[in-house]
Structure 1
Amino acid sequence: MSTENTEYTEPQVREDPELKLTDNQEKNRVELWNGQTFIGFVAVERRNDGAVELQHTIIDERFSRQGYARTLITLVLDSCRASGTLIHPTCTYVQDYLKRFPQYAGLVA
Structure 2
Amino acid sequence: MSSLVKDNPAKRRFEILVDDALAGFAEYAQPQGELVVFTRTEVDPRYQEKGVGSELVRRALDHVRARGGRVVPECPFVAAFINRHPEYAGLVTEAP
Q: TM-score, normalised by structure 2?
A: 0.88
Deviation sequence 1:6-49 (CA, Å, 0-9, x none): xxxxxxxxxx5x31112222221110002321110000123324
Q: Distance in 2 between matches of 1:46 and 1:84?
A: 17
Structure 2: gaps of 5 or more residues: none
1:90 partner letter: E
Aligned CA RMSD, in angstroms, stands at 1.3
Aligned match of 2:49 in 55, 59, 65?
Answer: 65
Q: How high is the sequence identity, in percent, across the aligned residues?
A: 30
Alignment partner, residue 90 of structure 1: 74
What residue is the counterpart of 2:37 in the other structure?
A: 53
**In the aligned structure 2, how far is the partner of 1:47 from the partner of 1:78?**
17
Cα distance per residue 1:76-106 (max 9 Å; x no partner): 1111111111001000011111111111010
> Which of 86, 90, 95 is the equivalent residue of 1:106?
90
2:34–2:68 Cα contact (<8 Å) kept: no
User: How does the TM-score come out when normalised to structure 1?
Assistant: 0.78
Deviation track 1:32-80 (CA, whole Å, cap 9, x = no partner) reads 0023211100001233242001111100001111100000000011111
1:22 matched to 2:6: yes
| Matches of 1:101 and 1:38, distance apart in 2 | 25
- Which letter does structure 2 place at the counterpart of 1:102? P
Q: What is residue 38 of structure 1 aligned with on the other side? A: 22
Cα distance between partner residues in 2 of 1:88 and 1:55: 9
